[in-house]
Amino acid sequence: MSGARVLLVEDNERNLKLARDVLEFAGFAVTVATSGEEAVTEATRALPDLVLMDLQLPGISGQAALARLREEPRTAAIPVVALTAFAMRSDREQALSSGFDGYLEKPISVRDFPDQVRSHLRPSVRGSP
Amino acid sequence: MAHFADDRVVPASADDPLQLAAQLHETQEQLAATSEILAVLSTSATAPDDVFDAIVGRAKRLFDADAAQIQVVEGGEFLLVRSAGTTREYVDVVTRRRPSARTRATLVGRVALDRAPQQIADVLADPEYSGSDYQREGGFRTIMGVPMMVDDDVVGVLSVWRRTVSPFDEQDEAVLLTFAAQAALAVRTVELVRAVQDGGQLLARKVDQLEALAEVGKAISSTLDPDEVLGTIVLHAVELSAADGGSLMEYDEESGLFRVRTAYGTAEDTLTALKGTRIHIDETLVGSAATSGTPIQVPDLASVERDPHLKVLHDAGWRSLVAIPLTHSARTVGVLVVRRKSTGAFTGETCDMLSAFASQSAVALVNARLYRELEQQRAELAVTSQHKSEFLASMSHELRTPLNAVIGFSEVLLERMFGELNERQEDYLRDILGAGRHLLELLNDVLDLSKVEAGRMELEPTTFPVLDAVHPVLALLRERAAQHHITLQLEVGPDLPHVTADQLRLKQVLLNLVGNAVKFTPDGGTVTVAVARSRDELTVTVADTGMGIAPDDQERIFDSFQQGTRSASASEGTGLGLTLTRRIVELHGGRVWLTSEPGLGSTFGFSLPQPQAVTAHDGAGWSRAALDDARPTVVVIEDDPSSSELVGVHLTAAGLRPVPVRSGEEGLAAVRDLRPSAVVLDIRLPGMDGWDVLGELKADPELARTPVVVVSVLPDSRRGFALGASDYLVKPVAGEVLLGAVWRAVAEHDHVLGGGRRTLVAIDDDPLALELVRATLEPQGWRVVTYTRGSDALQSIALSAPSVVLVDLRMPDTDGFEVIEALRADPRTNAVPVVVLTAKTLTTEDRARLQGRIEFVASKSQLDLGLLAQRLARVARRGTAAEATP
């Protein structure tokens, strides 16, 4: 049985590869997008269980992409977690107050990352991967 | 410019408010005394005309004369003041054609010249007598006059006459002399009364002037708004000189132009015209006044050649003016112009008074300029600071992005996600991972440190069990310690309740100190962490059995990128950890220290001041033993624990010792017992409310002088002040507002009780820097004494023993290094704490010269005044605490 489906939105090629490999190794099914617009299209098409979103993206920002996902009824309820290299206390507060369900900082800890992602899944899909 | 009357005046010294107040007081007392004299005189000896009437009436009757008269000397002529038996025509003639006091042609002239009685038996037979017109109207033949003498002067003549030739005898003359003496006395009294009256008026005017000066002085010291001060000056200058308007101009040295800053009694369009007029120092009247350094007045603007400035005024209907130069430290800073709509000269007295205003105005102008520069600098600083944090944020982001890949992929491989590794592969991967993490740590420390330096690191204090912070840190390091067979032990005091601090930052400090200790302890050694809590301080020490730190390195080790000699064996640290540790501890109001024996190990320690938890059951909580502390005590009466804690954290960080209590009753007990320097009082309290507490405090003569700062959600400051509160703040209150109010109250209280105020001597050749320091510290209760030359400051420091000396390094004549060396060489000053404030980048050589002689160095290029003030307060506190310890 396939694991929880995660849409990974990340414009940095290496970091995309790292997060994808780590998540796939942990049993997640990963699709990717490298811009905010692509993320919205892909999320609407694939309806993943969770979106991991970088904040600084080419084109529309992570926040703007989040807003579009929330506007679209089919994607409105998908948990969206920020994954970012912004590390100030205020960045975290700002992201959470703008509607992200979680906030993960880069660099990621390879050992903990899959569990951190899993903790943001809705309970119904949490057990799968 | 020949038209201009040159009116040189000596400016009164008016820039010392204390002197001014004393002068005002003295003059007011003189005025009061003079009024009493006047009152006595007016009830007793008084109306001279009554006396004169009595005299001429009695003389006429007594000597059987046809008429008697009294004439007084005024301006070399005789003025008829009283007569009896004369016709109106005669009085008219004598009044109109006053007889001269310097001729023998009349009787009165002869009396005045000879200063002796005279008689003309028959005026018609006297060849020298030429008062024929008087004689025609009076019809007298025999006339006798005697002088009225005051001191040695003839002030008048009393004379009697007969229309028949019938000479007066010697006895008549003697009696007439006694009458004349009475008349003279009356004249003298009048003169005295007039003199006293004049004096009284003079004094009253003087009081007005002094009061105005005092008011201006008050405005200068009480408002930061320079335009308000300048406005006050012009207003008073115009009113006191009974003029119609005026203006204050500021001089700009660079362009040589005067700019009108403020005006009074001046039409809007005239003011606009004045502001738009080019007023050059070489081309205008005000310029001449400034250049010559003396007031210049124009009694009639229509009659002089008018420069552009005067032309604007003349066209607007102004007719006369006086321009008073304003100088400060021998430099022209501006001109005060007072004008009238009518022609006429300004009196010397007015000019004197205006010159006194000039010195006030000069100070105000200089202040205004400083504030403007200060504002500008603040704005620039804010922009720079904004750029800096934006840069840091983006740098952090850009570095973190590739680090994520470096660290992550190393971990992926080390986790064997994609297969087994051989030993060498694993070894290299650990190197890559280690290097990546090191970079990350460095990045985090740089960010933190720059936040501290920019004053942007905000503590988020909470109260928690202290072991909540200690245990996770030890757990994190236990593995590494075990790898090296290092024993990691924890010693805790018997009573370790909660601690108030920023938990995350406390962990960071612990991780750094314990991490260092583990890192620098050889295999098989021991690291001991000891945690103890006294009544008002949490103390943590971390002792290792490492190689120790040489004495020379012990201070340096807290500087950035200094690891002392131990860096030879290990270079894993960021070089910022200890710097950051110290800054974080200092932000909490605590301190860091180090003791080390080379070869035996090192002990790093830090302390965090703690607000005291005083509960209703803990009656001994504020026992006098707790007062072995030089910090001013502040009783905080607040029932809401989080508000109380917040206030406590602010007060602690600012160098005060908060004693929190939860109710009004406890508060009163604490104030009675502790005699604190101030009270912070909430109004809504369980049981006895804040109003009752305030009322009771102010009603007790022993406690009434304790200043109370009310902090409440109720916006009822009138009631608060009416009940005697020192300050009234409405929640939510910003930390610095609260601190400002409390410090003011504490300073006032300690000052009133004669306690030592914290004094700072600041030495800097840049007056702006001095002004910045003053503007920052004075509101916090400091007394700031400034010097622009190091040599001048030394004597004062030796005599006054200030709490701290703040010195610039680069100065002409005696530089900062020399000042510090001189201070340290003098036994009277060798213990005075010195702080360096400089724009100079310190070289290794500089550091060596300062080593062990100063408290710390603050950089002007990245100056955070708030932080500097905090650190200075801490230094001052340590100084007093050290003195208090035997």
State whether B396 and A22 contact (CB < 8 Å).
Answer: no
Query: What pLDDT was estimated at residue B143?
Result: 93
Residues of B within 8 A of A18 (CB-CB) are: 404-405, 408-409, 412
Residues B466 and B449 in one domain: no
Residues B330 and B277 in one domain: yes
d(CA B786, CA B777): 12
- Give the chain A residue nearest B394 (alpha carbons): A86
Helices assigned H by DSSP within B241-281 = 268-275
Of B428, B457, B486, at which residue does a domain stop?
B457
Residues of A within 8 A of B397 (CB-CB) are: 56, 84-87
| A26 interfacial to chain B (CB closer than 8 Å) | no
Candidate from A15, A19, A22 with C-beta closest to B401:
A15
Asked whether residue B25 is domain-assigned, the answer is no
At a CB cut-off of 8 Å and minimum separation 6, what does B562 contact? Answer: B553, B556, B575
The alpha carbon of residue A73 is apart from the nearest alpha carbon of chain B, in Å, by 33
The structural domain count of chain A equals 1
Asked whether residue A123 is domain-assigned, the answer is no
Give the pair of three-digit tokens for residue B594. 């180090």
Helices assigned H by DSSP within B684-815 = 690-699, 717-722, 735-752, 767-777, 790-800
d(CA B80, CA B49): 12
d(CA B306, CA B320): 12
Query: What pLDDT was estimated at residue B154?
Result: 87
Give the pair of three-digit tokens for residue B686. 């369980």
State whether A18 and B444 contact (CB < 8 Å).
Answer: no
- Give the chain B residue nearest A25 (alpha carbons): B417
Report which residue type is found at B394: S
What CATH number should be reported for the domain holding residue B772?
Answer: 3.40.50.2300
Query: What pLDDT was estimated at residue A75?
Result: 93
pLDDT at B434 over 60: yes
Query: What pLDDT was estimated at residue B146?
Result: 92
Cis peptide bond upstream of A107, omega within 30: yes
Residues of B within 8 A of A85 (CB-CB) are: 396-398, 400-401, 404
Report which residue type is found at B738: L
Q: Are B266 and B341 in contact (CB under 8 A)?
A: no
Asked whether residue A124 is domain-assigned, the answer is no
Q: Hey, which residues 73-92 in chain A have their CB within 8 Å of chain B?
A: 84-88
| A112 interfacial to chain B (CB closer than 8 Å) | no
What CATH number should be reported for the domain holding residue A62?
Answer: 3.40.50.2300
State whether A21 and B415 contact (CB < 8 Å).
Answer: no
State whether B408 and A12 contact (CB < 8 Å).
Answer: no
Band the pLDDT of B862: cuts 50, 70, 90: low
DSSP at B165 = S
Q: Are B514 and B486 in contact (CB under 8 A)?
A: no
Query: What pLDDT was estimated at residue A122?
Result: 86
Size of interface A-B (CB pairs under 8 A): 62
Query: What pLDDT was estimated at residue B17?
Result: 58
For strands B633-637 and B657-661, give the pairing: parallel
Asked whether residue A122 is domain-assigned, the answer is no
Q: Are B99 and B109 in contact (CB under 8 A)?
A: yes
Q: Which of B349-363, B430-444, B817-831 shows the lowest mean pLDDT across its residues?
A: B349-363
As a whole number of Å, the CA-based R_g of chain A is: 13
Q: Pick the residue with more confidence: B261 or B569? A: B261
Mean pLDDT, to the nearest integer, of B849-876?
Answer: 78
Q: Which of B375-384, B431-440, B599-608, B700-709 shows the lowest mean pLDDT across its residues?
A: B375-384
Band the pLDDT of B617: cuts 50, 70, 90: very low
- Give the chain A residue nearest B412 (alpha carbons): A110
Residues B146 and B258 in one domain: no
State whether A85 and B404 contact (CB < 8 Å).
Answer: yes
Query: What pLDDT was estimated at residue A70?
Result: 94
State whether A110 and B397 contact (CB < 8 Å).
Answer: no
Q: What is the tens place of the pLDDT at every residue in A45-68?
A: 999 999 999 988 888 999 999 999
Query: What pLDDT was estimated at residue B14?
Result: 46
Residues B240 and B374 in one domain: yes
pLDDT at B573 over 70: no
Q: Are B607 and B632 in contact (CB under 8 A)?
A: no
Query: What pLDDT was estimated at residue B548?
Result: 84
The CA-to-CA distance between both ends of chain B, in Å, stands at: 73
Cα angle: B822, vertex B849, B793; to 5 degrees: 30
Candidate from A12, A109, A111 with C-beta closest to B401:
A12
| A71 interfacial to chain B (CB closer than 8 Å) | no
- Give the chain B residue nearest A10 (alpha carbons): B401
Boundaries of domain holding A57:
5-113
The structural domain count of chain B equals 5
Mean pLDDT, to the nearest integer, of A13-21?
Answer: 91
For strands B526-534 and B487-492, give the pairing: parallel
Q: What is the DSSP string of B434-493?
A: HHHHHHHHHHHHHHHHHHHHTT------EEEETHHHHHHHHHHHHHHHHHTT-EEEEEE-
Q: Which of B55-69, B175-189, B208-222 shows the lowest mean pLDDT across its residues?
A: B208-222
State whether B417 and A21 contact (CB < 8 Å).
Answer: yes
Asked whether residue A25 is domain-assigned, the answer is yes
Mutation to test the B interface, candidates A10, A15, A28, A61, most B Cβ within 10 Å: A15
Of B585, B609, B633, at which residue does a domain stop?
B609
Residues of B within 8 A of A22 (CB-CB) are: 408, 412, 417
The alpha carbon of residue A72 is apart from the nearest alpha carbon of chain B, in Å, by 30
A102: three-class secondary structure by DSSP: strand
Phi/psi for B689 (5° steps) reads -90, 175
Residues B230 and B359 in one domain: yes
The alpha carbon of residue A13 is apart from the nearest alpha carbon of chain B, in Å, by 10
Mean pLDDT, to the nearest integer, of B253-271?
Answer: 90
Asked whether residue B205 is domain-assigned, the answer is no
d(CA B697, CA B706): 8
Residues B243 and B366 in one domain: yes
Residues of B within 8 A of A15 (CB-CB) are: 401, 404-405, 408
- Largest Cα span, chain B: 158
Residues of A within 8 A of B393 (CB-CB) are: 86, 88
Mean pLDDT, to the nearest integer, of B734-759?
Answer: 67
pLDDT at B37 over 70: no
Asked whether residue B216 is domain-assigned, the answer is no
Of B586, B609, B632, at which residue does a domain stop?
B609
Q: What is the tens place of the pLDDT at every residue in B466-504?
A: 888 888 888 888 888 888 999 999 888 776 667 888 888
Candidate from B398, B411, B444 with C-beta closest to A110:
B411
Ranges of beta strands (E only) in B792-833 are: 804-807
Mean pLDDT, to the nearest integer, of B636-642?
Answer: 84
Band the pLDDT of B628: cuts 50, 70, 90: very low
The alpha carbon of residue A63 is apart from the nearest alpha carbon of chain B, in Å, by 17
B706: three-class secondary structure by DSSP: coil
pLDDT at B752 over 50: no
Asked whether residue B764 is domain-assigned, the answer is yes
Asked whether residue B31 is domain-assigned, the answer is no
Query: What pLDDT was estimated at residue A49?
Result: 95
For strands B462-465 and B498-501, give the pairing: antiparallel
Facing residues of B339 across strands?
B245, B321
| A25 interfacial to chain B (CB closer than 8 Å) | yes
Mean pLDDT, to the nearest integer, of B765-781?
Answer: 77
d(CA B462, CA B484): 35
Residues of B within 8 A of A21 (CB-CB) are: 412, 417
Q: What is the DSSP string of B55-85?
A: HHHHHHHHTT-SEEEEEEEETTEEEEEEEES
Query: What pLDDT was estimated at residue B674?
Result: 82
Mean pLDDT, to the nearest integer, of B185-210?
Answer: 70
- Give the chain A residue nearest B458 (alpha carbons): A89
Query: What pLDDT was estimated at residue B336?
Result: 92
Give the pair of three-digit tokens for residue A97. 């107050």
Asked whether residue A106 is domain-assigned, the answer is yes
Residues B286 and B426 in one domain: yes
Candidate from A14, A19, A111 with C-beta closest to B411:
A111
Q: Which is nearest to B657 in space by CA: B637, B680, B638, B629?
A: B629
Asked whether residue B262 is domain-assigned, the answer is yes
pLDDT at B574 over 50: yes
d(CA B99, CA B159): 14
Residues of B within 8 A of A56 (CB-CB) are: 397
Asked whether residue A60 is domain-assigned, the answer is yes
Q: What is the DSSP string of B180-224?
A: HHHHHHHHHHHHHHHHHHHHHHHHHHHHHHHHHHHHHHHHHHH-S
Asked whether residue A125 is domain-assigned, the answer is no
B781: three-class secondary structure by DSSP: coil
Strand order, beta sheet including B77-84: B77-84, B67-74, B153-162, B142-150, B118-120
Q: Which is nearest to B56 in space by CA: B45, B66, B46, B70?
A: B70
Residues B309 and B399 in one domain: yes
Asked whether residue B670 is domain-assigned, the answer is yes
pLDDT at B377 over 90: no
pLDDT at B4 over 70: no
State whether B393 and A86 contact (CB < 8 Å).
Answer: yes
Mean pLDDT, to the nearest integer, of B98-106?
Answer: 81
Q: Pick the residue with more confidence: B212 or B855? A: B855
Q: Which of A97-111, B561-575, B817-831, B845-859 shows the lowest mean pLDDT across its residues?
A: B561-575
Residues B173 and B283 in one domain: no
Q: What is the tens place of the pLDDT at every residue in B320-342?
A: 999 999 888 788 889 999 999 99
B35, with CB counted inside 10 A (0-12, 13-18, 19+), is middle
Query: What pLDDT was estimated at residue B495?
Result: 66
Residues B539 and B683 in one domain: no
For strands A5-9 and A29-33, give the pairing: parallel
DSSP at B564 = G
Mutation to test the A interface, candidates B398, B400, B458, B508, most A Cβ within 10 Å: B400
Helix and strand numbers (H, E) in chain B are: 26, 29
d(CA B71, CA B158): 7
Q: Pick the residue with more confidence: B198 or B598? A: B598
Query: Across all residues in chain B, what is the average pLDDT?
Result: 80
The alpha carbon of residue B221 is apart from the nearest alpha carbon of chain A, in Å, by 40
Residues B231 and B361 in one domain: yes
Residues B479 and B512 in one domain: yes
DSSP at B155 = E
Q: Is the ipTM of this complex over 0.90?
A: no
B838, with CB counted inside 10 A (0-12, 13-18, 19+), is buried
Residues of B within 8 A of A86 (CB-CB) are: 393, 396-397
Residues of B in CB contact (< 8 Å) with A are 393, 396-398, 400-409, 411-412, 415, 417, 436, 440, 444, 447
State whether A107 and B417 contact (CB < 8 Å).
Answer: no
Mean pLDDT, to the nearest integer, of B230-258?
Answer: 88
Q: What is the tens place of the pLDDT at every residue in B451-461?
A: 777 667 778 88
B157 membership: H or E segment, kind and range? strand B153-162
Asked whether residue A121 is domain-assigned, the answer is no
Question: Residue holding tokens 């007029």?
Answer: B277
B279: three-class secondary structure by DSSP: strand
B731: left (phi over 0), alpha (psi -120 to 50) or beta: beta
What CATH number should be reported for the domain holding residue B525?
Answer: 3.30.565.10
Q: Are B517 and B527 in contact (CB under 8 A)?
A: yes
Query: What pLDDT was estimated at residue B379?
Result: 79
- Give the chain A residue nearest B404 (alpha carbons): A107
Handedness of CA A119, A121, A122, A123 (dihedral sign): negative
Boundaries of domain holding B807:
759-884
B877: three-class secondary structure by DSSP: helix
Mean pLDDT, to the nearest integer, of A12-29?
Answer: 92
pLDDT at B206 over 60: yes
Q: Are B773 and B806 in contact (CB under 8 A)?
A: yes
| A13 interfacial to chain B (CB closer than 8 Å) | no
